[in-house]
Amino acid sequence: MAHRWTNDLTHDDVTPKSAYLNRRQVMAGMAGLGLAALAPKARAAADLTPTDFDVITQYNNFYEFGTGKDDPAKHAHRLTTKPWSIKIDGMVDRPGDYALEDILSQMTIEERIYRFRCVEAWSMVVPWNGFELKDLLDLAGVQSSAKYVAFETLYRPKEMIGQNSPFLDWPYVEGLRLDEANHPLTLMATGIYGKDMPKQNGAPIRLVVPWKYGFKSIKSIVRITLTDKEPPTSWNKSIPGEYGFYSNVNPEVDHPRWSQASERPIGGGFFAKRIPTLMFNGYEQEVASLYEGMDLRKNY
């Protein structure tokens, strides 16, 4: 399986020092040639310090395993992740059930350090491993009439005990506009810190859309559907007055029950100093053009 490094990494646990130095040399060379603008993925996540592995894996929202932050780590061991396949259907040329191992054999796995911003106003920095969603969509052959991508989480109440509660309408579903799905920052993540994805973090494969609130990054995906209609999303169905389809990180638009102007980095204790939230979670330069002409105060 091929690997390529796309970020300036700051952590020997994430990248061997030699690889990090090589990456720095490549980026310096690109800058000298006036080519640094061709590397938005690297710019977007440069010089971020990852949150500790233990924190990332112990503080989660994954309501399929319970509503407490430590419930996923307590209960996700029940989840069976092998074998695993993803049904890709709808407006595609090659619909079918794609075995995960077959998908991975055709993908280039990258390491991306991304900011992660929860709608609850806490945040992390996560070193993900994965591949661009666009590469998977290209594998299935997206038809020209498709405008949206719908996603669905595994439904298995015997293993995902939170699904026995009516807290949400299971299975969990999410969606993106096709241009959002095809953006080079949009990742299908298969691991963190160079390890396989922990079950409590969405094993074996999940979506990561770093400029949107975390609930958009659906976990344990078993189905992807291409469609010409905006798909339903779980939180919008449950509380439409609070959660919209786009849910881009926007410090100027408060949640109806709390401010989104700042966030609490997880890992520094409950009284850790809050930091200002960045527009599009710090990825404005890369993604703002997707929303030209839209009233961003109305796409919460």
Interval 239-291: pLDDT, tens: 999 999 999 999 999 999 999 999 999 997 767 799 999 999 999 999 999 99
Strand 187-192 to strand 173-177: parallel, antiparallel, or no bridges (unpaired)? unpaired
219 vs 36, which has greater pLDDT? 219
Can you tell me the mean pLDDT for 161-184?
Answer: 97
- For residue 38, the model assigns a pLDDT of 35
Predicted pLDDT of residue 46: 52
Q: Is 281 left (phi over 0), alpha (psi -120 to 50) or beta?
A: left
Q: pTM for the full model?
A: 0.86
Which residues are bridge partners to 74 per DSSP? Answer: none
- Say whether pLDDT at 212 is over 80: yes
- Confidence at 297, pLDDT banded by 50, 70, 90: confident
110 is written with which tokens? Answer: 């990258």
The structural domains of the chain, ordered by start, are 3-298 (3.90.420.10)
| Residue 24 confidence class, pLDDT cut points 50, 70, 90 | very low
Residues 128 and 146: their CA atoms lie apart, in Å, by 28
Contact 146, 230 (CB under 8 A): no
**What confidence score (pLDDT) does residue 268 get?**
78
Task: Locate 232 and state its tokens.
Answer: 């339903």
B/e letters for 16-50, b = 16+ CB within 10 Å, e = fewer, are: eeeebeebeeebeeeeeeeeeeebbbbbbbeebeb
The model's confidence at residue 153, banded by pLDDT at 50, 70 and 90, is very high
Q: Give me the helices (H) in the chain, please.
A: 17-32, 40-45, 53-58, 71-75, 100-105, 133-140, 178-181, 234-238, 284-287
